[in-house]
Amino acid sequence: KTSINGRATGASLSNFALRGTELQNTAWVLGVVCYVGDECKIRLNSTDPPTKNSELERILNLCVACILLFICLAATCFVTAACVLKAKNEDDSCFPVFAKYVVILYPVLPMTLYICFEILHLMIAFQIDRDGLMKSNGRYARARNSSVVEELGQVDFIFSDKTGTLTANEMRFAFCCIGERVVGP
């Protein structure tokens, strides 16, 4: 508790300010700061959410990075050849020549690939939104994130829990019912 003008005041919800609060119409404020620094719970939990990129998008980004690297290497080779073979009376430096070759080789980069990739995502998301087989209680499924729809139905990991003794876990076919016919050993 603290005393202000002879009146005892304690910390309560009526005089508590959360992080990011802006005070207005106040001449002064007396405050106690608790749980501060990079190691406090609120700071550790306030990280940005991870980005969701599909495996296909990662491969596409890697391909584009390799193409950009190829463009820069090819432009460097062409600039080296141009600077070595240029006439003695030319005063051009090699950097403008490099920029010219990068501009000339830039159409090698397939930007339409990204455009087609995003249009495909939108088409798949629209199809999920309108699919009658995914309707439950009169409501359709909603594709809120269209960037990972191509990974639907792909299983990467299977986790299993084996309890009991350390014996062999054998699964044996018992029987199967197909229509009205029962098939089994």
Positions marked catalytic: 161
SS3 at position 146: helix
**Total residues belonging to the chain:** 185
Determine whether 115 is exposed, middle or buried from the number of CB atoms within 10 Å of its CB (0-12, 13-18, 19+). exposed
Q: In the chain, what's the furthest Cα-to-Cα distance?
A: 93
SS3 at position 173: coil
Q: What is the DSSP letter of 51?
A: P
